[in-house]
Amino acid sequence: MKTYVPNKFIVERDESKCVGCQVCVTQCSFETHSWDGEEQAVKSQQDRCVGCHRCAMFCPTGAITIRRNPLEYRENYNWRAEYIEDVYKQAETGGVLLTGMGTDKPHKIYWDHLVLNASQVTNPSIDPLREPMELRTYLGRKPEKVELGPGNASLKTRLAPQVPIEVPVMFSAMSYGAVSINVHESLARAATEAGTLFNTGEGGLHPKLYKYGQNTIVQVASGRFGVHAEYLDVGRVIEIKIGQGAKPGIGGHLPGEKVSKEVAEVRMIPMGTDALSPAPHHDIYSIEDLSQLIYALKEATNYTKPVSVKIAAVHNAAAIASGMVRAGADIIALDGIRGATGAAPKIIRDNVGIPIELAIASVDSRLRAEGIRNQASLVAAGGFRNAGDVVKAIALGADAVYIGTAALIAMGCAVCQQCHTGKCAWGICTSDITLTKRLNPDIGSRRLANLLRAWSLEIKDILGGLGVNALESLRGNRLHLRGVDLTDTELKVLGVQMAGE
């Protein structure tokens, strides 16, 4: 059937610059470029271009330019190009549209409507270049109070396991199999260098990365891939994945093509078979079942590590989170509607869930109203772009954030949304042996650690400007936020005042 879907991009080749070296041919995993032996020239099949910029970035003479295809439909606000083309695609295939990355729809980004405070005159700002500035955060359950032993000579209180992170940014769950081993290694090494944690995702952990266990969150998801005693023992935190911001209510599907020998071994499934994660955990149909799994994992690890429970931010997130804390979760991870994925149905990604800003605010407020905020740490995920977003999330009430897409971008990702194809030209979201070699873990971990360093410097600058020298003085301190261009109801849910007020 002839497709009616037009090219997304135009590949322009400056013939005066092209030397026919064919770097672009080898670099493009989508087979856009090919060598025409007859004409002794490189040709491009434009309909295959996904706009990932791999060829343009590696062309030694700068001969390639990628532009958006200006093919214009008649203007129609309702029937924009994307919706027309989605209908074409479904008419041609009869299938669910799959996509990768986080939603590209213009859901309101509340970070852009929140502004931060700074000290002027009545209190001094603090210069982080000259004064200590503390970002350390301890994740885990805290008691309501500290008790001292007889004569106040000793500490009676014994805390549940606490995990320190030196920067309030962790790497979000991205499973081995979805991403390559080199990505996992880069994340693990960068997390270790920066004193934070990386999350294995639901595909287990390659034994060669066990040595980074102290900086690893091991995930247990509905498919239970790669979950065994040693895996649980090696991690610092265990996370039960209930849901994901990019696809709330939906399970996972790693196509058999990506299940290489090594992926199969780590996941403990036959090579080449699809790895299907059911939509729900079939042993969790209600909150009391969650409690059983939490305590099964705590028993299995002798109560030595906090158990996190990750959910997609949905309408009743506040009530659900409260139940999770009461069920024994030590960390609540919330993933908002802009959270990304290796593969999800487009219709789910773009339409289900709520923005993370609102979820943080309502969950933090609810847990405080119930007097149980101290019983769990709150970790937020879903589209964090920079240190400003991170600081605002913490001021709303989060203890720390997860970044996924930002971490991938640090390693080269251009957010071309082709993760689900397994052909990632940057060697990130693929298990193709030749492609995965494109990411050198020495370089990948360096770039990631640099990113965390840069953000932590920026966070310190902001804290100093606010006049505080410890992150905990900003956490949940919504007086340091003001809203711009928000309705009364939005301000109320966020718990912040209008700027100028």
Q: Which of residues 408-437 bind another protein (CB under 8 A)?
A: none
Measured between alpha carbons, how far is 111 from 108 in angstroms, rounded to an integer? 9
Which residues are bridge partners to 216 per DSSP?
198
Sign of the torsion formed by the C-alpha atoms of 417, 423, 424 and 429: positive
For residue 115, state whether it binds another protein (rule: CB under 8 A).
no
User: How many other C-beta atoms can be found within 10 angstroms of the C-beta atom of residue 233?
Assistant: 16
Nearer to another protein, 28 or 360 (CB): 360
For residue 500, state whether it binds another protein (rule: CB under 8 A).
no
Measured between alpha carbons, how far is 357 from 89 in angstroms, rounded to an integer? 33
> Which residue from 54, 366, 373, 420 is in contact with another protein, where contact means CB under 8 A?
373
| CB 306, CB 330: distance < 8 Å | yes
Nearer to another protein, 52 or 359 (CB): 359
Nearer to another protein, 292 or 497 (CB): 497
Q: Which of residues 468-497 bind another protein (CB under 8 A)?
A: 468-470, 472-480, 497
φ/ψ region of 176 (left if φ > 0, alpha if ψ in -120 to 50, else beta) reads beta
User: Measured from the CB of residue 390, what is the shortest distance to another protein in angstroms?
Assistant: 17
> Which residue from 124, 207, 270, 278 is in contact with another protein, where contact means CB under 8 A?
124
Could you tell me the CA-to-CA distances from 491 to 316, 366, 426, 485, 486 in Å, in that order?
18, 16, 41, 10, 6
Using the rule CB under 8 A, give the single segment among 16-24, 65-73, 130-138, 290-298 that binds another protein.
130-138
Nearer to another protein, 287 or 484 (CB): 484
Residue whose structure tokens are 């990113």: 451
> Which residue from 154, 286, 302, 489 is in contact with another protein, where contact means CB under 8 A?
154
DSSP 302-335: TT-S-EEEEEE--TTHHHHHHHHHHTT-SEEEEE
Contacts 24+ apart (CB under 8 A), 439-445: 439/180, 439/182, 439/183, 439/186, 439/411, 439/412, 440/182, 441/182, 441/185, 441/186, 441/189, 444/182, 444/183, 444/185, 444/186, 444/190, 444/411, 445/185, 445/186, 445/187, 445/188, 445/189, 445/190, 445/193
Nearer to another protein, 134 or 461 (CB): 134
Measured between alpha carbons, how far is 416 from 439 in angstroms, rounded to an integer? 17
User: Measured from the CB of residue 46, what is the shortest distance to another protein in angstroms?
Assistant: 54
For residue 147, state whether it binds another protein (rule: CB under 8 A).
yes
> Which residue from 138, 255, 256, 491 is in contact with another protein, where contact means CB under 8 A?
138
Nearer to another protein, 195 or 213 (CB): 195
Count of residues engaged in binding another protein, rule: CB under 8 A: 45
Contacting residues for 302 by C-beta, under 8 A, at least 6 apart: none
For residue 371, state whether it binds another protein (rule: CB under 8 A).
yes
| CB 174, CB 344: distance < 8 Å | no
Which residues are bridge partners to 335 per DSSP?
312, 381
Which residues are bridge partners to 99 per DSSP?
344
Nearer to another protein, 116 or 276 (CB): 116
Show the binding pattern over residues 24-53: x = contacts another protein (CB under 8 A), - = does not. Answer: ------------------------------
Nearer to another protein, 5 or 479 (CB): 479
Distance of CA 374 to the CA centre of its chain: 25
> Which residue from 69, 119, 386, 450 is in contact with another protein, where contact means CB under 8 A?
119
Query: Closest Cα to residue 474, out of 126, 142, 237?
Result: 126
For residue 467, state whether it binds another protein (rule: CB under 8 A).
yes
Nearer to another protein, 92 or 131 (CB): 131
Number of residues in the chain:
501
User: Measured from the CB of residue 459, what is the shortest distance to another protein in angstroms?
Assistant: 15
Nearer to another protein, 19 or 479 (CB): 479
User: Measured from the CB of residue 383, what is the shortest distance to another protein in angstroms?
Assistant: 25
Using the rule CB under 8 A, give the single segment among 150-158, 173-181, 229-237, 438-446 that binds another protein.
150-158
DSSP 179-239: B-HHHHHHHHHHHHHHT--EE-GGG---GGGGGGGGGEEEEE-TT-TT--HHHHHH-SEEE
Nearer to another protein, 238 or 471 (CB): 471
Nearer to another protein, 162 or 386 (CB): 162
For 374, which DSSP code?
G
Using the rule CB under 8 A, give the single segment among 35-43, 48-56, 275-283, 369-377 that binds another protein.
369-377
Using the rule CB under 8 A, give the single segment among 59-67, 212-220, 307-315, 367-375 that binds another protein.
367-375
For residue 126, state whether it binds another protein (rule: CB under 8 A).
yes
Using the rule CB under 8 A, give the single segment among 60-68, 157-165, 302-310, 452-460 that binds another protein.
157-165
Query: Closest Cα to residue 194, out of 168, 233, 213?
Result: 168
User: Measured from the CB of residue 397, what is the shortest distance to another protein in angstroms?
Assistant: 9
Query: By the criterion CB under 8 A, which residues form the site for another protein?
Result: 119, 122-124, 126, 131-132, 134, 136, 138, 142-148, 151-155, 157, 159, 162, 368, 371, 373-374, 466-470, 472-480, 497, 501
